[in-house]
């Protein structure tokens, strides 16, 4: 004979696979177990918000990629070395660090810039 509880569920028809004893089932029914009801509107809003969030993250990632790509190409353009510039730098470096004759008749000579600084400082300290 199957007994009936307050909510008219036949306790004897429960499968043991649910893992509830008769006593546990009675306690659950007394606590007010209710069936799950989905809130479709809330679910749809949460889904839409998730889609918008993912879209915003993808847009942000794309913009960050464009920014860093521009920054890298700008840096590469600044650091680019052209042969003419390299030759000018080498000739100027040579003029600043070697001894040479500028005008032999007027006795104008070129000395390394470090030596020129030393001469000027020695002259001022006299």
pLDDT of residue 29: 76
Are 125 and 86 contained in the same domain?
yes
b/e map 84-119, b = 16+ CB within 10 Å: eeeeeeeeeeeeeeeeeeeeeeeeeeeeeeeeeeee
Q: Residue 56 — φ and ψ, nearest 5°?
A: -65, -40
CB 113 within 8 A of CB 125: no
pLDDT of residue 49: 97
pLDDT one digit per residue (tens) for the chain, 126 residues: 444 444 455 555 555 556 667 777 777 777 776 566 778 899 999 999 999 999 999 999 999 999 999 999 988 887 777 888 888 888 999 888 899 888 889 988 888 989 888 989 998 988
pLDDT of residue 67: 96
Distance CA 17, CA 20 (A): 8
Domain span at residue 118 reads 82-126
Query: From its phi and psi, is residue 80 left (phi > 0), alpha (psi between -120 and 50) or beta?
Result: beta
Are 25 and 56 contained in the same domain?
no
CB 22 within 8 A of CB 12: no
Are 20 and 41 contained in the same domain?
no
In degrees, to the nearest 5, what angle opens at C-alpha 57 toward C-alphas 53 and 62? 150
Number of domains in the chain: 3
Are 124 and 108 contained in the same domain?
yes
- Give one DSSP letter per residue of 75-98, joined into a string: HHHHH---HHHHHHHHHHHHHHHS
pLDDT of residue 2: 45
């Amino acid at each position: 004979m199957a007994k009936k509880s307050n909510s008219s569920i036949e306790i004897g028809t429960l499968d043991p696979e649910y893992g509830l004893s008769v006593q546990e089932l009675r306690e659950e029914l007394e606590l007010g177990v209710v069936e799950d009801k989905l809130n479709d509107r809330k679910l749809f809003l949460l889904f839409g918000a998730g889609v918008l969030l993912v879209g915003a993250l993808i847009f942000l990632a794309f913009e960050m990629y464009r920014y860093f790509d521009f920054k890298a190409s700008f840096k590469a353009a600044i650091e680019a070395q052209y042969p003419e510039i390299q030759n000018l730098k080498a000739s100027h470096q040579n003029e600043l660090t070697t001894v040479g004759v500028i005008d032999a008749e007027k006795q104008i000579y070129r000395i390394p810039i470090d030596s020129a600084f030393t001469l000027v400082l020695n002259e001022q300290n006299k």
